[in-house]
Amino acid sequence: MRPPAPSPAAPLLAGRTRPPPIVGASSRKCPATCWAEQMAAAPLRGRLRALAAALGGCGLLLGSALAVGDERLYSAAMPALRVLPPEAAHGLALRAAALGLLPPARPDGPLLEVRVLGQRFCNPVGLAAGFDKHGEAVDGLYKMGFGFVEVGTVTPKPQEGNPRPRVFRLAEDEAVINRYGFNSHGHVAVERRLRARQETQLRLTSAGMPLGVNLGKNKSSTDAAADYVAGVRMLGPLADYLVVNVSSPNTPGLRDLQGKTELRDLLTKVLAERDMLPCERKPAVLVKIAPDLTAQNKRDVASVVCELGVDGLIVSNTTVSRPSSLRSRQCTEPGGLSGKPLRELSTQTVREMYSLTRGRVPIIGVGGVSSGRDALEKIRAGASLVQMYTALVYHGPLVVGTVKRELEELLREQGFKNVMEAVGADHRC
């Protein structure tokens, strides 16, 4: 019997070829996106077959695990998936989500519901920015059980980001170092994708699954405020909340925007633009900060946020520090460190910012969340919501359900009636 012809997408999915470079602000679709859209219309069995053809045995095992939601089967597939370069593996995971291959999550119980930022969240566990930078797989990602998804970082003009390789697994530390540098398809492309699914998102938001959009500046920009304002104007009407990302360590000069004067000027313009949006329901505005701020920096950020009435904080971005406990040979790579080594630093920053804002500014805690205990630690420190990303690299999509299940059990054990009752509990002890 003649063997089946290889899928034309196989080299792309395996990371042996790259999609065409981004040119200008064109809305032309790259082959990978076209292939994903064609496959999304096919029956599940056909989509699994396409994924398996693209990756051979690894694809078959991974596809089967995703389809049935078997944690043991997925655990067996993970080592094979990690044979791929990190960025190629990330691309595969994103395409699997876009194709709707992820197992459906169980409904959330009332214990996990959170009301904050003017929205209802069916659970407090969200997907951090960086996983779906270009808004290509939003609907599939909600299927994983996230209470909210954050797209981006999105820059005004398309840009390639830093040269490859630019992301590194630190397997011994369950960590990742990245120096992507805001690789982005740009406002026009992301706006088109989000606009095409606007009605779907309205239904999801009503069901307790809001959408966030993370905004950044172009590397070559000479007017950072204009870049963020442009993002508010174009993407604000499609988002439930917007994030002003001034804390990535991979864009030169970006973290300088966390200074008191610079931050006040930037946020004044962003909030004014948000208030002028023609949509009936205005998106909340949050600021994402670094975990490496000095004590004075933190006081300044808290002061500006409270003074201007910013809706919330995301704490924190990746760190440029390198804990002495790191064991991986990759730990000296430049870039931002995420995952387990960031957990304590980010939680401490959540705790400090909650105190500095007197609990009046909602916080989304992110950094090293891979269990229900990690999530509750951040919630007790002052976070109303938490986000995950790096845990998916090491534990796969089923970790989302695990975190929620463990969190629910811990809330009951510790005598909390719901998540909101636990927010900031450590400050009341």
Give phi and psi for 348, each to the nearest 5.
-65, -35
What percent of the chain is helix, strand and coil (3-state, nearest 5)? Answer: 45, 15, 40
For 144-184, the DSSP string reads: TT-SEEEEEEE-SS-B--SPSP-EEEEGGGTEEEE-----B
| b/e 245-260 (16+ beta carbons within 10 angstroms → b) | bbbbbbbeebbebbbe
CA angle 140, 311, 423 (to 5 degrees): 75
Closest CA relative to residue 264, chosen from 297, 298, 307, 316: 307
Closest CA relative to residue 318, chosen from 214, 175, 186, 183: 175
Closest CA relative to residue 33, chosen from 132, 121, 180: 132
List CB contacts of 16: < 8 A, sequence separation 6 or more. Answer: none
> Has 324 been annotated as catalytic?
no
For 3-55, the DSSP string reads: PPPPPTTHHHHTTSS-PPPP-TT--PPPHHHHHHHHHHTS-HHHHHHHHHHHH
Contact 247, 317 (CB under 8 A): yes
Q: Which candidate in 7, 221, 247, 248 is catalytic?
A: 248
3-state DSSP assignment of residue 119 = strand
CA–CA dist 179, 177 (Å, integer) = 7
Q: Which residues are catalytic, by number?
A: 248
